[in-house]
Amino acid sequence: MVCPLCNKRKAKRLCPARAESICTICCGTEREVTIDCPSECEYLIASREYDWERHDFDISKLPFPDTTISERFVREHEELVTFIDYAICGFAAEHRDMVDTDVLAALQTLAESYRTLASGIYYEKPLDLPLQRELVGKLKSAIADFRKDQTAHAGMTTLRDADIRDTLIFLTQFGATHNNGRPKGRAYLDHLRGFFAKDTFAKPTSLLVLP
């Protein structure tokens, strides 16, 4: 059987996204480009492991290259990091077309907004895509809920705007190191999902409630 994509080479590899066999070359070149690969595809998983082993990135080209978030900060704010991760994954479960570039755009925009607070002015760069704008709104609500939960449990919130800013910068930088640059790539999203139980996002769920 000839590959339905190139109409040249022999179709040897079953593509779960297309429910038909394609050639190995098209699998490699069209993966997460024109083919919307499911996260459980064995070839996608293997390719990500291969790419990560040979992964090399220039720190100076990461978002916010002038800012380094320490491991200690991340440990101290692990609950907030997890809360935001959960909100992202929950939103993605409701919007199956969301990809890594959408997540990164929303995180970076919100992080930049919190940076402007240092000057006493809150400015949010408008995003072109409705899905990205909606995700920004979801993250704002998640952060507000986190503060409310802190107040409810401790009688006050100790979370500073600077803490939120640095958490968002960390997640943006972390995401940039996992993003493979493919238009339909979800390597970062799948990595975030890996922090939670397997079936957590099988169906849309309510926002995580802190114990």
Q: What is the dihedral of CA 126, 132, 133, 136, to 10 degrees?
A: -100
pLDDT value of position 41: 96
pLDDT value of position 134: 97
pLDDT value of position 56: 73
Kindly report whether the global pTM for this prediction surpasses the value 0.95.
no
pLDDT value of position 153: 79
pLDDT value of position 140: 95
Helices (H), 1-158: 24-30, 42-53, 71-76, 78-94, 100-116, 130-154
Low-confidence ranges of the chain (pLDDT < 50): 204-211
pLDDT value of position 203: 58
For the chain, domain boundaries? 1-56, 62-211
